[in-house]
Structure 1
Amino acid sequence: MSDAKYSNPMEIEITEPSSLNEQAAVALVIAGALVAVADRRVSPVERDEVIRFIRDRQLAPHIPDERLFAMFDELAERLEEPDFANVVIDTLRPVANLSLSSHLMELSERVAAADEDVHPHEVQAIKLLRLLTLVLPRAKPVGAAARAASEE
């Protein structure tokens, strides 16, 4: 692969993730980042909590800490834009079939509590994540199973 493809790791992670594991890691990071930016003050302890949570549960052992930190920083910045909800939805939709919702919810609650001040906007962000994990459309099957289903 060319060096240009690696110049922006977030582009690989979000727009063209190479695997479901990569997408799951980004989903976890965005859940934490969403809660962290909700009170308009991203604390380093909140970012550290996201990485610690992922590491403690070995949810993305193939991704170095530096890359997870970079993901968090970029996503936190991106979530301050007006279309933040689309970013969250687009990131969570590919992993809707995975059983990540309990991890997403636990992570979001831990991030909210990490700075020892749970802001009402953080509570709203957690509620939004809970709602999204319940209502996001599941990914459609691809490959032979999809063709067989469409032929019926």
Structure 2
Amino acid sequence: MSDANDTNSIEAEITEPSRFNEQAAVALVISGALVAVADRRVSPVERDEVIRFIRERGLAPLISDDRLSSMFDELAARLEEPDFANVVIDTLRPVSDLPLSSHLIELSERVAAADEDVHPHEVQAIKLLRLLTLVLPRAKPVGAASTAAKG
């Protein structure tokens, strides 16, 4: 179990506005990792599918394959902890106003099929992602909030 005061490298990165490309990559990776851990058997082919999907779509060109792989492993381990839902929500919220929803769902479906055995818990994880992409509050632009406060 991790200490609530202890922040891992992924959590630190996604809170920095200057790390926008990293935030999108983490959101994509967590959608694949959530499905991968759903059946309690994380397979290397599932991690490879996440990286392949991101590369095929050109969604995180500045992030290396090694970094994506380590993100996947770190997030998959984190998603096995009791507060996994908070991890998913906190990771998706910063990019909620990006047009990533269709990519998140397609990626999760490809990960579920990657090991050629779509488990019912993987289907539930995909449904959860669909729901989250519909209901997560949209991130508010920092510039608009400060302009509204002045006026």
TM-score of the superposition, structure 1-length normalised? Answer: 0.89
Match runs of 1:17-96 below 5 Å: 18-96=18-96
How many Å separate the matches in 2 of 1:151 and 1:136?
27
* Partners of 2:128 and 2:11 in 1: CA distance: 25
List, as ranges, runs of 4+ consecutive aligned residues in structure 1 with deviation greater than 4 Å: none
Which residue number corresponds to residue 115 of structure 1? 115
- C-alpha deviation, 1:19, in angstroms: 2.0
Query: How far is 1:138 from its partner?
Result: 0.6
- Over residues 7-30 of structure 1, what are the superposed CA-to-partner deviations in whole Å (9 max), with x where a residue is unaligned? x75354334463211100000000
- Match of 2:18, SS state, is coil
Equivalent position of 1:102 in the other structure: 102
Q: CA separation in 2, counterparts of 1:69 and 1:126?
A: 21
User: Please, which runs of 5 or more residues in structure 1 have no aligned partner?
Assistant: 1-7
Question: Secondary structure in 2 aligned to 1:18?
Answer: helix
Query: The residue matched to 2:142 in structure 1 has which SS?
Result: coil
Counterpart CA distance in 1 for 2:79 and 2:9 is 17
Structure 2 portions without partners, runs of 5+:
1-7
User: C-alpha distance in 1, partners of 2:120/2:17?
Assistant: 33
Residues 14 and 94 of structure 2 are in contact (CA less than 8 Å); yes or no, is this contact kept in structure 1?
A: no
How far is 1:92 from its partner? 0.0
Shift in alpha-carbon separation, 1:17–1:82, aligned structure 2, 3 A = farther
Task: Provide the aligned C-alpha RMSD in A.
Answer: 1.6
- Equivalents in 1 of 2:30, 2:126: separation in Å? 12
> How much identity, in percent, do the aligned residues show?
84
Tell me the distance in 2 between the aligned counterparts of 1:63 and 1:9.
Answer: 15
Q: CA deviation at 1:147?
A: 3.1
Give the length in aligned residue pairs: 144
Q: 1:17 to 1:78 in 2, by over 3 A?
A: farther
Question: Retained in 2: the 8 A contact 1:29–1:71?
Answer: yes
Aligned to 1:136: 136
Q: TM-score, normalised by structure 2?
A: 0.89
